[in-house]
Structure 1
Amino acid sequence: MWITCFDYKKQKYPQTKKEINELNRTKEFMSMIYSCEEHVDIAIDTIVNEYETFPSLEKIDEEKKLSTTCEYCKNNAIYIVANK
């Protein structure tokens, strides 16, 4: 499973392994998991367990649904579960 990281202080995605490691040390990033209806509970549990915070749950816009897949089963994603 891949969790997408976004550095909201710098307003960009990390580009190198060094930037990803730096974000992991500080925990100052936004993690997002794309999920289908069936796996949304697993995505929520993952965010809660890894970041010890209440997750954000957002429905994906209709135009993005076509190209975004669930990170657990590769069906079309319906939700974005994030730590911020």
Structure 2
Amino acid sequence: MFHLATERGRREERAEATRTCAGFAALDPLGRKIGEVEQLFSDAYGEPRHLKVKIGGFFAARSVLIPLRRVAIDREKRTLALQ
């Protein structure tokens, strides 16, 4: 029972991360900024699977969809780092 409650809590936490990451800076594995997170897409289990990022300058802005393997979210720095 405890295991199920703990897993449910983790899923809810991951789902919340999906909703609150818009506007974070998306970073590559070396810490360089890729662009701004528009949306984080998760699977049925709440695991992040794709990241929609706005890249480019003011006049050349476009969005790209990046498949994810691992990601680290830093709420204090408002960054999402691909790993």
**Could you state the TM-score of these two structures normalised by the residue count of structure 1?**
0.25
More strand, by proportion: 2
User: Looking at CA atoms only, which structure, 1 or 2, has the larger radius of gyration?
Assistant: 2
More helix, by proportion: 1
**Could you state the TM-score of these two structures normalised by the residue count of structure 2?**
0.26
